[in-house]
Amino acid sequence: MNNYKHYLQSDHWKKFRKFYFARKKPKGCQFCRFRDPLQLHHITYERLGHERLEDVVAICDSCHEEVHDLHNSGKSKNLRAATESVRLKYKLKKKPKPKSPLIRTSKGKARKRAYNEASDKRMQMDDDFVNAVLRNL
Ligand SMILES: [Zn+2]
Ligand SMILES: [Zn+2]
């Protein structure tokens, strides 16, 4: 989507981004709570150029990719549905990642994988402890 890439360079979008982060002050990925450089994902492109705050969500690189992978796979009805199902997955604390045929190598993903594995271990020991850790992220 070339226009979209263009759009992300626009002054409007940069302003909106600033506004969003100033307003919402996300303290980590809105899905998995992982602290990572956050990206603003469009839940819908319907109002591109005049977004509302609820049209986007700040998520980490890994969750972002997951949403678009799901969307591109055609298994979800639309982008909003794909976004919702990834959001729900983390909300219900299911297994954090679907197995992927790709070996994820980027730094953020490696960090997140380590984090998830550590959480899994802790989860077996003590749910409350993990919840406390997640709250403090
Ligand atoms: Zn996106
Ligand atoms: Zn995330």
Q: Which residue has the tokens 């380590």?
A: 114
For 84-105, the pLDDT digits (tens) are: 999 999 998 755 555 555 545 5
* Neighbouring residues of the ion ligand 2, judged by CB less than 5 Å: 29, 31-32, 34, 59-60, 63
Query: Which 3 state secondary structure label does DSSP give 80?
Result: helix
* Number of folded domains that form the chain: 1
Q: Which residue has the tokens 């020991």?
A: 125
CA gap 65, 124 in Å, rounded: 28
CA 128 – ligand 2 centroid, Å: 21
Length of the chain: 137
Share of the chain above pLDDT 90, in %: 59
Residue 88 located in a structural domain: yes
pTM given for the model: 0.65
CA 112 – ligand 1 centroid, Å: 19
For residue 64, what are the domain limits?
2-96
* Residue 57 phi, psi (nearest 5): -145, 140
List the end-to-end C-alpha distance of the chain, in Å, as a whole number. 34
For 12-38, the pLDDT digits (tens) are: 999 999 999 999 999 999 999 988 799
For 36-61, the pLDDT digits (tens) are: 799 999 999 999 999 999 999 999 99
